[in-house]
Amino acid sequence: MQLVAFAIKTLPAEVKSNWQRSLIIILCLAVGIASVAAVKIYTDSAISYFKDNVKEFFGADITIVLPSELTNDQQNFLDYQNLGTLTYISDYNQVAFNPFNRQNNMPVQVTVIDPEVYPLYGSLELVDSSSSKALLSETQAAIVSASLFEQLELKMDSLVIVGNTPYVIRGILQETSVPDGFMGRIYTATPPQAEIGNLGSKHAYLKLTEEKDIDTAKEEIAFYFEEETISTYVEISSHIDTSAKILGNVALIASLASLLLGGLGVANVAQVIARQKIKQSAIMKCVGGKTWQITFLIIIQIAFVGLIGVLFGFALGWALTGVLPTLLKDIISISIPIRPNINVFLQVSLLGLLVTVLFALLPVLRFTKIRPLAVYRDENPERLLSKNSKLVTALIVLLLAAIFGLFIGFIIDSPAVGLGFAFATLILTSIFLGIIKLVLKLILKLPIFFGTSAKMARRSLHRQYGRTSGAILALAFGISAILLISFIQTDVLNFMHSLRDDQDTPNIFALLDSESGPSSESLIEFLEKDDRLENVTSMKMLTASLETVNNRVYDASQASDPRSSILAKAFLIGAVDPKNMPTELNYTKGKLLEQNNEVVMEEYIATSLGLKVGDKIGFLIGENLREFDLVGFYSNMQKGINVTASSYATNEALQGLNPAFSTELLFARTKPGIAGEDVISTLRANFPNLGFAFDVGQLITLFDTIFTAISRFMQFLGFFALVSGLIILAGTMILAKWEKRKETALIRCLGGTTKDVINVQLWENGILGVLAAGIGIWLANMLSMLINVYLLEIEFVTRPLTNLFAFVLVLFAVIVVGAISLSDVLKERPLTVLRNE
């Protein structure tokens, strides 16, 4: 305690005498902590908000998905149950129209409620704060979502047509509580006409009496209804918690990158501080100090400076939570109230301190292992450093990584992931630092250093391998993170757009319900008459169950995937004309579908089930068992949109079969220049009872929005890494300033001009910039190529112009940062510098 008190007492003088170094530590940590704090505060606030309002979101304590027809027992239970308040909700998937322009339409979910009881928790919040209960008591009254109201250009107290049912708009939902997506919502007490559209689902919502325990209530309900159809708000809360935690942890780990880079900056400064304190360490040893005491004193002081950085970073992170809703508004439409949370503050602060201490420890330990004889040696006291063996150093590094990993594991509730992350980071950082040092050495050996300035720059860079490598790594990582995300975003979106724009690929899809809605013949006839369309085709999809493999009963227990038994029972076979396939399959094994006795299957499903090309498989379709030769596997669609069929067979092979469920998918392609959404509007206007119809362009636009929002968020985190890199670089230059000052004075004493000094700096910073930009761009391109080719299976496109732009930008940034960091060196008189020496 005496040591700690002494360290704190002497801290102000230390900070004052080393203010530049202290500032570098503060900035390095503040940037990293800001990114971690912003993510952690936002995700924790979101989790708390969802959990606190789970009953309002869920709408009940318990919900039951009701079967289409209730048994007498079920009906009696619901009629006479005494668990609490019960209400029924029916959801219909419909199309809503503007009554004056049927082309102006939108798919909607119509929720039919009892306004006297619904909602069981909270209230339907309307933009004018009026009561939904009063509004919906009138027949045919409806409350509509704001997006529906705007898109269909509706008016208050006028009509909206749903299917063939007119509703009077009495209120507009405030869309802060439920994200709306691309489907509108309507609440009403009057059901739409039953034969129009399709009934999505019917639920019973239950609010328990206070004395009723939720688990007991569920058990009672489970006596009458299948357990899978019963959900409790506790289960939903747990699901929300788990999903949000996973997403939050992914974001947290991404945000840790800039904090770890900040750690490299701290390590650089700690090395300089400890090196500067070599003589002091030796003096302390002369007066009885032990290595651990001296290390402790220096670390405590660095940690206190780090704490200032952590607090500053936390405040910055708090401020940044104001930016996150804007970045994420396309995927999280709810306004999440940011809440102060002492746990988050403590976790982030401890994390910042831990990073400070762990990164500072090794360099400090290296320099405090000075032999006390150094008090006598003014020249090169570093020769008196006791060297740790490489094994001891490696063990210390592994120990520090394990401590860091366990702490991260503690924050994200998964020690294994935390440890994995820490060791993976350690390994990757070591590899990249090694590569950077090697490349730097090779560059310095190149015969490009002609003239005195170039040679001096080479010597200067030689002296600073360690420190500059960290800065280069940080910068390279920052630029590569931003580029990589941008590359992937562009490639994926380009791929999606190419699908949308490819005239051979259908972009209009209509899914026909076999039990209700229009016949496929009438729809095909309608589509074929529409001169905006071409290539109108259809594909029937039948449900089937895998029964035999090579004439033996299929045994799901031998399959690799535990879900196989479900997969085997729920096959969806597409009936196609092999010569005119609706989608072009990417075959990975075997051959194309040709004959009527053949079937091709999605590779993942087939391998999960333990099937091989060449197997003879038997499908039970309806009451018929049909045998097929499994002739090929495909991995995905080469072209076109995945229509969820898990295998394909010929039309002839599947003709005349009557499975329990079948559906028909209609495909069409709009002619060049025709907007798909206009065709869909026409379809809905003429077939309001159409099950489902969509335009690929609309889906891609939605995907575009979501993917761009995620990319923007990741780039936001990558930006912090880039800023960390620039701070570390500036820090490295400031730390080496005394060497630069002496070198500049000597150049001037020997007749050099300011131009010569600037030339040396330009060479030095130019090489650092080239290396940082080169490695960053190489890394981004390499990772992008690997992800595109092996993970996304899309084409990798080289972007010479973007790469060149990034290269010039980083080079320019490094040269500017270098010039600013060392600008005062140019102003100093050589004699003043040499006298101070």
Partner 1 sequence: MEIMRTIELGKTYRDGEKETEVLRGINLEIDEGEFVAIAGPSGSGKSTLLGLLAGLDKPTVGQVFIGETEITTLPENRLAKIRGRMLGFVFQSFNLIPTLTALENVELPLILNGIADAKKARELLDLVGLTNRSRHYPNQLSGGEQQRVAIARALVCDPPIILADEPTGNLDSKNSKTVMDLLISLCEEKQKTIVLVTHDLDFASKAQRTVHIEDGRIS
Q: Can you give the binding site for partner 1, defined by CB under 8 A?
A: 2-3, 6, 9-10, 13-14, 17, 279-280, 283-291, 293, 371-373, 375-376, 378, 386
Q: Minimum Å distance from CB 494 to partner 1?
A: 59
CB of 359 to partner 1, least distance (A): 22
Nearer to partner 1, 100 or 292 (CB): 292
Q: Please state, in angstroms and rounded to a whole number, the distance separating the CA atoms of residues 630 and 647.
A: 10
Nearer to partner 1, 291 or 535 (CB): 291
Q: How far is the CB of 19 from partner 1 (least distance, A)?
A: 12
Look at the alpha carbons of 400, 404, 410, 413 in this order and tell me if their dihedral is positive or negative. negative
Q: Please, what is the minimum distance in Å from the beta carbon of residue 333 to partner 1?
A: 55
277 touches 323 (CB < 8 A): no
Q: CB of residue 400 vs partner 1: minimum separation in angstroms?
A: 22
Rounded to the nearest whole angstrom, what is the least distance from the CB of residue 380 to partner 1 in the complex? 12
* Cβ distance to partner 1 smaller for residue 148 or 284: 284
* Amino acid (1-letter code) at residue 687: F
Nearest to 691 by CA among 149, 200, 180: 200
Strand, coil or helix: 170: strand
Q: How is residue 26 written in tokens?
A: 């503060």
Residue with Cβ nearer partner 1 (32 or 289): 289
Q: Give 521: exposed, middle or buried? Use CB within 10 Å, 0-12, 13-18, 19+.
A: exposed
Exposure of 408 in the CB half-sphere (CA atoms within 13 A): 28
Q: Considering the complex, what minimum distance in angstroms separates the CB of residue 387 from partner 1?
A: 14
CB of 744 vs partner 1, minimal distance in Å: 24
**Considering beta carbons, is residue 281 or 460 the nearer one to partner 1?**
281
Cis peptide before 447, with omega less than 30 degrees from 0? Answer: no
Least distance (Å) between residue 16 CB and partner 1: 8
Which pair of structure tokens corresponds to residue 602?
A: 């999605």
Alpha carbon distances (Å) from 385 to 42, 275, 284: 47, 10, 15
Distances (CA, A) of 71 to 76, 77, 224, 259, 419: 9, 10, 9, 60, 54
- Report the C-alpha gap between 520 and 668 in whole angstroms: 13
Question: Which is closer to partner 1, CB of 22 or CB of 803?
Answer: 22
Shortest distance, position 276 Cβ to partner 1, whole Å: 10
Cβ proximity to partner 1: between 48 and 276 the closer is: 276
CA distance 679 to 666: 13
Number of helical H runs and strand E runs in the chain: 28, 20
Instruction: Please name the residue that has the structure tokens 């004493």.
Output: 749
Nearest-angstrom CA–CA distance, 351 and 555:
51
Q: Closer to partner 1 at the Cβ: 10 or 85?
A: 10
Q: Which of 799, 775, 778, 795 is nearest to 787 (CA)?
A: 795
Cβ partners under 8 Å of residue 451, min gap 6: 759
List of residues 6+ apart from 584 with CB closer than 8 A: 637, 638, 639, 640
What's the closest the beta carbon of residue 20 comes to partner 1, in angstroms? 14
Distance CA 88, CA 91 (A): 10
CA 262 to chain centre: 22
Burial class (CB in 10 A: 0-12, 13-18, 19+), 132: buried
CB of 312 to partner 1, least distance (A): 23
Taking the least distance from each CB to partner 1, the nearer of 16 and 579 is: 16
C-alpha dist (Å) from residue 640 to 503, 508, 667, 688, 725: 10, 11, 10, 26, 43
* 571-576 and 647-650 strand pairing: parallel
**How far apart are CB 386 and partner 1 at their closest, in Å?**
8
Q: How far is the CB of 280 from partner 1 (least distance, A)?
A: 5
Q: Nearer to partner 1 by C-beta: 284 or 536? A: 284
List, in sequence order, every beta strand (DSSP E) within 43-133. Answer: 62-65, 84-98, 101-112
Q: Which is nearer to partner 1, 178 or 283 (CB)?
A: 283
Query: Torsion over CA of 297, 299, 301 and 304, rounded to 10 degrees?
Result: -140
Residue 370's φ and ψ, nearest 5 degrees, are -90, 145
Minimum distance from residue 303 beta carbon to partner 1 (Å): 17
For partner 1, the closer CB: 10 or 832:
10
Are the C-beta atoms of residues 159 and 199 closer than 8 Å to each other?
no
Nearer to partner 1 by Cβ, of 12 and 447: the residue is 12
Token pair 């409620």: residue: 113
Across 442-513, the runs of DSSP E, i.e. the strands, are: 508-513
Q: How far is the CB of 369 from partner 1 (least distance, A)?
A: 9
Closer of 279 and 532 to partner 1 (Cβ): 279
Q: Which is nearer to partner 1, 287 or 442 (CB)?
A: 287
Pairing of strands 647-650, 598-602: antiparallel
Alpha-carbon span 48 to 59, nearest angstrom: 17
| Distance of alpha carbon 39 from alpha carbon 351, whole angstroms | 14
Task: Compare residues 292 and 805 and give the one whose CB is closer to partner 1.
Answer: 292
Complex with partner 1: residue 87 or 301, whichever CB lies closer: 301
Beta carbon of residue 474, minimum distance to partner 1 (angstroms, whole number): 29
Please, what's the largest Cα pairwise distance for the chain? Answer: 106
